[in-house]
Amino acid sequence: MNVSARVAPTVLLPPRSAWIEVDLGALAENFRIIRSALAPDTRLIYVAKAEAYGLGARRSVPVALANGADQVAVFTLGEAAQLREAGITAPILLLGEALPEDVPWILQLNLEPCVGRLEIARLLDEHGRQRRVRVPVHIKVNTGMNRFGFHWRDSVAWSRELSRLPGLEFAGVLGHFAQSDEEDKTMARDQIGRFQRCLADLRAAGVEPRHAHHCNSGGVLDLPEAHFQQVRVGILAQGIYPSSVCRRLNGLMPVMTVKARVTAIQPVLPGDTVGYGMRWQAKRPGRIAILPIGYADGFPRVRNEGCVLLGGARAPLAGGVAMDALMVDITDLPAVAVGDEAVVLGRQGREEITVHELAGLKRSVSYDVLAGWRARLPRVYRNE
């Protein structure tokens, strides 16, 4: 028989022995908690860009919408199209800044784009008038982040220009904090003041956007005076705080756990080395467990640093993390056997590897850890 002609349908394959567990019950509960921490008439936007920060947007967004979110935000047209294909009919805010070639698709997918350049505003207006619809847009104001948006210093001028575009419907106006979750709120307060002056200039020009919004998770927690009519929440929905100093909400739970099963165990004798570059050397007779997850899955590329949880205990990594595997010193854990479940991120028994611990290993931020897991790690959904 011609072996190369055989096809194994991927749905029939055994599950990969490294995976992400997504607790949809915890996600739902987090939304209920966040919702109840807001004023009843404050709208809640779920920022589900980058596959809902790694959870998988298709599965997370319906849970969010059923538990208190009013709207979704994504960053790319592809992300928005995926949600529409999945049957999501809620309003979708398209973050960032569109380019001219995106405009027809924004109308086609019925999106609410952020607009921070007059060229794009005029193009959206033109397309709207051609199709005899008013295109819902959110006026993006650069209040100091200096990334996207109309500059706060020029608000009189762009307010007047926007007021001349009858093809647009002003669904919102937004800014974005450069720092909202640290103790020092000086910059955040400056940004709020600038935003309020822009709102006044818009009003003076006859432009009255339906909903103003400036808060991300940090602002939701620590800047209640800036909630305006709606807020945008990403990381907090995952039960992860944007910083160590921001306000806590009772009952929030982490949604994401990353696990792998031990697929091999190697005995080592004093002097034996482990992994590329021989950077770890055994000082005593011991055992090394191999987990089939590596930096190509999004695990930090560290060397002789970090831990995983096995048998309810912390076990240190040995040698450098490889593309597909990492090695763990289990010399002090004699009960560990091939097939055992290890926790790479999350809880096992009384121990926990936090997102912040992995962020330290990655020399990065918690956001990067969550969103950094690659698509080849399957997502397994629990507690729907």
d(CA 58, CA 50): 11
**How many amino acids of this chain bind ligand PLP (CB under 6 A)?**
13
Token pair listed for 330: 């289990």
The distance of Cα 38 from the centroid of its chain, to the nearest Å, equals: 21
**Binder to ligand PLP among 72, 124, 212, 235 (CB under 6 A)?**
235
Output DSSP code: residue 195. Answer: H
Find the part of the chain contacting ligand PLP (CB under 6 A) among 100-108, 229-237, 261-269, 314-322: 229-237
Residues 6+ apart with CB under 8 A from 189: none
Q: How far apart are CB 182 and ligand PLP at their closest, in Å?
A: 13
d(CA 209, CA 203): 9
Find the part of the chain contacting ligand PLP (CB under 6 A) among 231-239, 244-252, 269-277, 280-288: 231-239
Q: Which helix (H) or strand (E) holds 279?
A: none
Q: How far apart are CB 112 and ligand PLP at their closest, in Å?
A: 13
Is residue 290 a contact point for ligand PLP (CB under 6 A)?
Answer: no
Of residues 112, 154, 106, the one with CA closest to residue 127:
106
**Binder to ligand PLP among 234, 239, 286, 346 (CB under 6 A)?**
234
Is residue 176 a contact point for ligand PLP (CB under 6 A)?
Answer: yes
Our CB check for ligand PLP shows the closer of 215 and 344 to be 215
Is residue 116 a contact point for ligand PLP (CB under 6 A)?
Answer: no
Our CB check for ligand PLP shows the closer of 30 and 217 to be 217
d(CA 124, CA 115): 9
Closest chain position to ligand PLP (CB): 234
Our CB check for ligand PLP shows the closer of 235 and 315 to be 235
**Binder to ligand PLP among 63, 205, 233, 256 (CB under 6 A)?**
233
Is residue 95 a contact point for ligand PLP (CB under 6 A)?
Answer: yes
Is residue 242 a contact point for ligand PLP (CB under 6 A)?
Answer: yes
d(CA 159, CA 204): 8
Is residue 143 a contact point for ligand PLP (CB under 6 A)?
Answer: no
Find the part of the chain contacting ligand PLP (CB under 6 A) among 23-31, 150-158, 233-241, 374-382: 233-241
3-state secondary structure of 55: coil
Binding mask 18-57 for ligand PLP (x = CB under 6 A): -----------------------------x-x--------
As annotated, the active-site residues are 49, 276
Is residue 93 a contact point for ligand PLP (CB under 6 A)?
Answer: no
Is residue 328 a contact point for ligand PLP (CB under 6 A)?
Answer: no
d(CA 154, CA 139): 13
Q: What is the full DSSP assignment across 288-354? A: EEEES--GGGT----BS--EEEETTEEEEB-SB--SS-EEEE-TT-TT--TT-EEEEEEEETTEEE-
Residues 192-221 touching ligand PLP, rule: CB under 6 A, are: 216-218
CB atoms within 10 A of CB 110: 14
Q: How far apart are CB 160 and ligand PLP at their closest, in Å?
A: 25
Is residue 185 a contact point for ligand PLP (CB under 6 A)?
Answer: no
- Measured at the alpha carbon of residue 125, what is the angle toward residues 122 and 128, in degrees to the nearest 5? 155
What percent of the residues of the chain are helix, what percent strand, and what percent coil, each to the nearest 5? 35, 25, 40
Give me the residues that bind ligand PLP (CB under 6 A), please. 47, 49, 95, 176, 216-218, 232-236, 242
